Amino acid sequence: MATLDFEKQFIELDVAIREMQNLAYEWGDNVRQEYRRLKKKRTKMFNDTYNKLTPWQRTQLARHPDRPYTLDYISQIFSDFIELHGDRKFADDAAIIGGLAKLNGRGVMLIGHQKGRGTKENISRNFGMANPEGFRKALRLMKLAERFHKPVITFIDTPGAYPGIGAEERGQAEAIARNIYEMMVLRVPIISIIVGEGGSGGALALGVSDRLLILEHSIYSVISPEACAAILWKDHTKAPEVAGALRLTAQDLSKHKIVDEIVKEPIGGAHRNFDMIAHKMRRAIVRHLQKISLIPIEKLLSQRYQRYRDYGEYQEPTD
């Protein structure tokens, strides 16, 4: 298990509590009282911390190495998943996965960024940072879904599109632009869920949708706090502060009407109770899918267009 800075205090306290638990049976009321006090303190500390997470702590939770990833959700929520590979042009990009599956007996197309568990898998999955072929595979699968009238569900979890030589040679910018463009007019319902990191254009390339859901401790941002700090503050150690300035938390995004629903996580984060978060996510997906599946496609498309058409804040003084 990996541990974040602010998770450490609980682990230390848990060790103390466990030791005392053993002692409590041998020693009298005094120890038992102390044990209860410690346990109460732990619960309070835990709740206090997780009820008042800073944007930076949420960023850390969104990137937690134990956080459930796309394939975890797919195996828990859906049945009969068949993974489909390749963009039919260049390669198969393991940073994005996709395939057919069933939800309540109905066919759906699932697509998502996939981070790796551990160093070896992370290297093969490129830490969830897609190359153009990953985005083009995603687009191929979306088009397939469109032809067979299957709704598309995307899972977003990426630090961003991969900044590499090959990526630029093969048109990273075009691949992202093309996905955004095509998702805007895709003639099937689209639901996107930000399950971890929503890193900029690489996230948006799977994120144009009719309903955008986000887990409580997930983030979505135009730039990572570290990179933003390096450019604007000339100091990447300012990232914790910048995380606040960028308004990248689920709560901020909800306030700005970027996301439609925040899926509440178990206290401590999704990795502390996977069954619970998967269950909640399933219910949310089913509920939204039922609703948008009833909307005639032309109406759904015009709502989708209008949603993005309306984003932005400006004023127009008349002179």
Binder to other proteins among 185, 276, 295, 297 (CB under 8 A)? 185
As measured in angstroms, the least distance from the Cβ of 176 to other proteins is: 4
The residue count for binding other proteins (CB under 8 A) is 58
Query: Among residues 103, 136, 129, 109, which one has the least CA distance to residue 281?
Result: 103
As measured in angstroms, the least distance from the Cβ of 184 to other proteins is: 4
Query: Among residues 134, 193, 121, which one has the least CA distance to residue 160?
Result: 134
As measured in angstroms, the least distance from the Cβ of 304 to other proteins is: 8
Place of tokens 């797919």: 74
Q: Which stretch binds other proteins (CB under 8 A): 26-34, 58-66, 73-81, 160-168?
A: 160-168
Interface with other proteins in residues 234-253 (CB under 8 A): 242, 245-248, 253
The gap between the terminal CA atoms of the chain, to the nearest Å, is 62
CA-to-CA distance for 60 and 219, rounded, in angstroms? 10
Kindly state whether residue 263 participates in binding other proteins, applying the rule CB under 8 A.
Answer: no
Query: Among residues 115, 100, 129, which one has the least CA distance to residue 64?
Result: 115
Considering just the CA atoms, what is the radius of gyration of the chain in Å? 22
Q: Of 80 and 168, which CB lies nearer to other proteins in the complex structure?
A: 168
Structure tokens at 47: 């709740």
Kindly state whether residue 187 participates in binding other proteins, applying the rule CB under 8 A.
Answer: no
Q: What is the phi/psi pair of residue 287, to 5°?
A: -60, -50
Place of tokens 């306030």: 255
As measured in angstroms, the least distance from the Cβ of 316 to other proteins is: 5
How many Cα atoms occupy the beta-carbon half-sphere of 155 within 13 Å?
28
Kindly state whether residue 316 participates in binding other proteins, applying the rule CB under 8 A.
Answer: yes
Kindly state whether residue 164 participates in binding other proteins, applying the rule CB under 8 A.
Answer: yes
CA-to-CA distance for 261 and 254, rounded, in angstroms? 7
Interface with other proteins in residues 197-216 (CB under 8 A): 199-202, 204, 208
Q: State the Cα torsion 133-134-137-141 to the nearest 10°.
A: -160
CA-to-CA distance for 96 and 112, rounded, in angstroms? 6
Q: Of 119 and 318, which CB lies nearer to other proteins in the complex structure?
A: 318
Kindly state whether residue 119 participates in binding other proteins, applying the rule CB under 8 A.
Answer: no
Kindly state whether residue 168 participates in binding other proteins, applying the rule CB under 8 A.
Answer: yes
Kindly state whether residue 318 participates in binding other proteins, applying the rule CB under 8 A.
Answer: yes
Q: Note the residues at the interface with other proteins (CB under 8 A).
A: 159-165, 167-174, 176-178, 180-181, 184-185, 199-202, 204, 208, 220-224, 227-228, 231-233, 242, 245-248, 253, 256, 258, 305, 308-309, 311-319
